Amino acid sequence: MKKTLPLASAPLPQFASDEAAAEYFASHSVAGVWDQLPAAEPGKLSRTLTKSIQERRLARKAPISIRLDPEQIVAAKRIASAKSVGYQTQLRMWIAEGIRREGKGARLP
C-alpha cells in the first residue's frame, strides 16, 4: 500500500542545512505547490571540474569509423532529436544496449 505524504506548505520553509531539507522533502509532497515554487537557477560548475569532466569523457571514448546508409543516419538524428540527445550519443546508447543484451546470453571467456 502506497503511503500518502502530507502536502508541503507554500512558500517553502527555510532550511538550516541540506540534511534538514532532505528530511522535509522525504516526508512532504510538493505536488500541490509545484507551480508556486520559484524557478531554480542552474548550478554552475567550476572551470576545473568542467575541464576534468571533459577530459574523462574524451579519455573513455575511442574514435571509430562506421559506414551507415544515409537513411539510417537521418532516422537516428530524428529519433535522437525527439529525445533531446545528440545522434551520436543515441547511436552509442543503442550499441551499449545491444552489447548488454547479447552479452547476457553469450558465454564470454
What residues form DSSP beta bridges with 7?
29
Residue 59 maps to a domain = no
- On whether both 70 and 108 belong to a single domain, the answer is yes
The predicted structure's pLDDT at residue 84: 92
The pLDDT value recorded for residue 100 is: 92
For range 3-9, the mean pLDDT: 75
Between 57 and 68, where is the model more confident?
68
Please check whether residue 9 is in contact with residue 33, taking contact to mean a CB–CB distance below 8 angstroms.
Answer: yes
Domains: count for the chain: 2
C-alpha 55/C-alpha 42 separation (Å) is 22
Instruction: Find the domain containing 87 and state its range.
Output: 66-109
What confidence category does residue 92 fall into, taking pLDDT thresholds of 50, 70 and 90? very high
Partner residues linked to 11 by β-bridges: none
**How many angstroms separate the CA atoms of 75 and 65, rounded?**
19
Residue 90: inside a domain = yes
For 43-56, the pLDDT digits (tens) are 888 999 999 988 88
pTM (2 d.p.): 0.47
* Averaged pLDDT score across all residues of the chain: 87
Domain annotation covers residue 87: yes
